[in-house]
Amino acid sequence: MHFPNIQPKITPIYQTSVFKFEDLDAVRQYFDEPGSRYLYSRNGNPNSDELATAVARWEGGVGAVATGSGMAAIFAALLTYCQAGDHVLCAADIYGGSAALLNLELARLGITVSYVPFEDLGDLRAYLQPTTRLLLCETMSNPLLRVVNLRQLATECHQHGLKLVVDNTFATPVLTRPLAYGADLVLHSVTKYLAGHSDVTAGAVVARTPEDVARLRQIGTVFGLTLSPMESWLGVRGLKTMRLRVAAHSENAWAVADFLDKHPAVQAVYYPGLPTHPEHGLATTQGAGRFGGMLSFRLPDDAAVVNSFMQRSQLFPFAPSLAGVDSSCSHPLYTSHRALTDAQRAGLGITVGLVRLSVGIEPVEELLADLAHALAS
Ligand SMILES: *Cc1c(COP(=O)(O)O)cnc(C)c1O
């Protein structure tokens, strides 16, 4: 089938697993001139390339690979620099899935990990081994919203010959572009703010050098980590409104944080936008004056109190993900941070009373009224 002169405004979904070649010369062109044609969608597809290019552009990198999930992005990023026998450092405040990958699976393949408490990120010497290759951290940590000084950390890493890999899922490039501060790779769970509508699972890794982009593409292809056309298309569509959404999420989250901070039932609020947050100043400069849509707060360590909050809230359903246009709440101890060891969780203060909110873009007065109702006992 050939369609003459169709010029769609939006890239169509190339829902095909494979592409045709006229003859041997055509397939040779594919191999000799990278980017000139498509072969097989696991290796590359117009939709996944469009998403990768858009994310790379946002992050100021030279290229990217779109992956089947944020976890696939973390895996691909770690494999870019590590092989069996290597050692990695990981910020102690980290997404539970990252800890599970490191503790349960990569350790089995001979890649070991040491966790660095937030307070020690400024001086890594005590954690280094001869085989240490990289440090993995999040711009804004999960779930306590600690803000990492990326410029300082990149300098410290490079001084010791380590690569810096930053999970920028919570901050988004609207707030912070880690490559500009010296990070070597930046990755996303595109599932979250980049796509933004809780309707797609996807990831991306962006690199600052062509060599790393080539490595990432090969890892994506041979491990089968790449993203399908439909999910890529949804990611691209979401990305187009990211700047507006993140501004709205940030405004609402600031108002919710301020409300919770003054509420007698709430023991503590963790939001970088609050002047009482330990990295408020850093968050202000590194985050371009916005603080994102995520926050956590502390109720008494009593499951009945947490259950009452969850049952009474209408606008913050307990849905253990984040970053959709509709608000939600999650519970790190019971969901995202299950895989951490008891000692890790205790060290971070992840207890039963800790509730995480993903503040959506609904009218803020509706959110505040809902929270007031949910917290009244
Ligand atoms: C959700 C999340 C991931 C994992 O992404 P998936 O798309 O669920 O695989 C990684 N890092 C952070 C910070 C996340 O919030």
- Conformation bin of residue 198: beta by default, left when phi > 0, alpha when psi is -120 to 50: left
Q: Which atom of ligand 1 is nearest to the CA of 191?
A: 7
CATH class of the region 242-375: alpha beta
Q: What is the pLDDT of residue 229?
A: 98
Domain boundaries of the chain, sorted by first residue: 24-239, 242-375
Per-residue pLDDT at 345 exceeds 90: no
Q: What is the overall mean pLDDT for the chain?
A: 96
Pocket of ligand 1 (CB under 6 A): 69-71, 95, 97, 138, 142, 167, 169-170, 189, 191-192, 201, 203
Q: How far apart are the first and last CA of the chain?
A: 65
Which residue has the least CA distance to atom 6 on ligand 1? Answer: 70
Quote the tokens at residue 352. 């039963």
Question: What is the pLDDT confidence band of residue 356, given thresholds at 50, 70 and 90?
Answer: very high
User: What's the CATH architecture for 24-239?
Assistant: 3-Layer(aba) Sandwich (3.40)
Per-residue pLDDT at 3 exceeds 80: no
Judge contact between 163 and 212, C-beta under 8 A.
Answer: no
Judge contact between 205 and 134, C-beta under 8 A.
Answer: no
pLDDT digits (tens, 9 = 90+) for 9-35: 999 999 999 999 999 999 999 999 988
pLDDT digits (tens, 9 = 90+) for 138-187: 999 988 999 999 999 999 999 999 999 999 999 999 999 999 999 999 99
Per-residue pLDDT at 339 exceeds 80: no
pLDDT digits (tens, 9 = 90+) for 48-99: 999 999 999 999 999 999 999 999 999 999 999 999 999 999 999 889 899 9
Ligand 1 centroid to Cα of residue 188, in Å, is 7
Q: Check for a shared fold between 24-239 and 242-375.
A: no
Rounded to two decimals, what is the model's pTM? 0.96
Question: What is the pLDDT confidence band of residue 348, given thresholds at 50, 70 and 90?
Answer: confident
